[in-house]
Amino acid sequence: MPALTALDTTAAETPPDGKQVFKDRCALCHTVRKLAPELCEKLPAQRRDFLERYLASHHAPDPAERKAVRDYLDECCD
């Protein structure tokens, strides 16, 4: 079994960029501007729960990518 190089471990530890994931996976159909009114009226915990359920069933099967998108959208509401 080959040993991991520093590059391999860094890539494995780097979380996805939420803005980029949104751009690549979501922005074809959704915009932050259109999502913000509905999302930002929710309390942060409610928003995260809603997004977790929605994204899990809507083109974001990877938990790390879902978290990155949730964090990105949370920042948009601040």
Q: For residues 69 and 26, is the Cβ–Cβ distance under 8 A? A: yes
Question: Which pLDDT band, with edges at 50, 70 and 90, does 2 fall under?
Answer: low
Q: How much is the average pLDDT of 49-74?
A: 93
Examine the pLDDT at 10 and tell me if it is beyond 70: no
Q: Residue 2 in 3-state DSSP?
A: coil
